[in-house]
Amino acid sequence: MNRVVITGCGVVSSIGIGMAEFTDSLRAGRSGVRPISLFDTSGFDYANGCEVTGFEPEQWIKQCDIAELGRAARFVVAAARMAMQEAGLRETTRPGLISIGSADGESFDLDTLVGADVAGIDIDPVVAKRVSAVRLSTAISDELELSTVEPITLATACSAGNYAIGYALDAVRAGDVDYALCGGADAMCRKIFAGFYRLGTIAPDCCRPFDRDRKGILTGEGAGVLVLESLPSATARGARIYAEVLGYGANCDAFHPVAPDQAGVAQCLRLALDDARLRPDEVDMISAHGTGTESNDITEVAAIREVYGPAPPPTISVKSMLGHTMGAASALASIACAAAVRHGFIPPTINHANTDPRCPVDCVPNKSRPAALRVVQNNGLAFGGTNASVILGRFDG
């Protein structure tokens, strides 16, 4: 079995485009919150979100017709090119994999099509062609002219990014492919915002994971793509290594359509630790799913304490900065973990004032913390109990 390492990362997010800006924002605890402008928010009492701004797709997309790509596809194709450039890979013939997770594909375009249908307007065929979620992976192979890859899109909701990373890890580890581009992408849309709003889980101002006065999530968007490569391949070409992918766990507890289950989450964490052949006391940081809802925060912390005991390692949520980017969430969080391991810091949980006594963890409130991280665990939880957790480690040779 091959050891597997991360040799490149690409990011499109509300707090930064590209790894340098993203890492700086994580360290500084920057917030991506702003009033939503992508769709009409009339009728909602409040409408903040974490939109991507300043993104210029033509800077990154050279081969595909940008008009034929939806918003999420533009994000993920750009992130894939960034990741390949960082990794120094220009693969066209070696066997590879493209594994992209998404919660909702091109729902922004679906909103447009539904709106046109309701208004009795002819549907734009160009927009209609963009909506297939498969395009999130096939557009990458088209753009990067990768002819010997298997492109797949995994739709496991808010854990999809970690599922895609785990799928890629298995393929590279087993020697089925030499490298993989993996991660997640989603774009903000009215449907997702309205759905969470009706559930009563949209925060009026900001996301406050683990805080006594939390009000819920903020919807976000973006894409995160990682290059996974076998260690022999990476070392043979002298590649920079962010971190080693030590293992992952995935399960589906099917406990409830939207409510998480402590036993199911705890099992997922243990599966990841077992796959990585690690004990809980060897983990230095946990990147929680950490949505900022009462149900998620309390249940996830209880599961973490079940596995790690009464004093778990620092447990943070990057959603306090990024919002909930759905299928991109755990991919962006995995990249945040890789940056934290490589650059020696723990990202903060911002907007924090008073820890909920039912969430007794060190969430690294408001300010990042220097730390020589060796092992980190990143959790992704999803509706239906579709959970996935990835473990990264510092590469010391």
The CATH 3.40.47.10 domain(s) of the chain lie at 4-237, 246-394
* Digit-coded pLDDT (tens) for 4-26: 999 999 999 999 999 999 999 99
**246-394 sits in which CATH class?**
alpha beta
* Mean pLDDT rounded to a whole number for the chain: 96
pLDDT in tens, 168-188: 999 999 999 999 999 999 999
Q: Quick check: 223 and 98 in contact, CB under 8 A?
A: no
Give pLDDT, residue 258. 87
The answer, yes or no, to whether residue 376 has pLDDT greater than 90, is yes
Instruction: Decide: 342 and 328 in contact? Cβ < 8 Å.
Output: no
19-28 and 329-343 helices, crossing angle to 10°: 80
- Does the pLDDT of residue 220 top 90, yes or no? yes
3-state secondary structure the chain: CCCEEEEEEEEEECCEECHHHHHHHHHHCCCCCEECCCCCCCCCCCCEEECCCCCCHHHCCCCCCHHHCCHHHHHHHHHHHHHHHHHCCCCCCCCEEEEEECCCCCHHHHHHHHHHHHCCCCCCHHHHHCCCCCHHHHHHHHHHCCCCEEEEEECCHHHHHHHHHHHHHHHHHCCCCCEEEEEEEECCCHHHHHHHHHCCCECCCCCCCCECCCCCECEECEEEEEEEEEHHHHHHCCCCCCEEEEEEEEEECCCCCCCCCHHHHHHHHHHHHHHHCCCHHHCCEEECCCCCCHHHHHHHHHHHHHHHCCCCCCEECCHHHHCECHHHHHHHHHHHHHHHHHHCEECCECCCCCECCCCCCCCCECCCEECCCCEEEEEECCHHHEEEEEEEECCCC
CA 55 to chain centre: 18
Architecture of domain 4-237: 3-Layer(aba) Sandwich (3.40)
Mean pLDDT, to the nearest integer, of 260-270? 97
Q: Please state the pTM of the whole predicted model.
A: 0.97
Tokens of 127: 């927009």
293 token code pair? 């809802």
Q: What is the mean pLDDT of residues 190-209?
A: 95
pLDDT computed for residue 397 by the predictor = 80
pLDDT number for residue 90: 81
- State the amino acid at position 118 in one-letter form: V
pLDDT digits (tens, 9 = 90+) for 346-369: 999 999 999 999 999 999 999 999
Where in the sequence numbering do the catalytic residues fall?
158, 289, 324
Judged by average pLDDT, the poorest of 79-83, 206-210, 235-239 is 235-239
Q: What's residue 380's pLDDT?
A: 98
**% of the chain at pLDDT higher than 90:** 95
Chain segment 71-128, per-residue pLDDT in tens: 999 999 999 999 999 999 986 788 999 999 999 899 999 999 998 889 999 989 999 9
The answer to whether residue 379 scores a pLDDT higher than 90 is yes
- The token pair at 273 is 């630790």
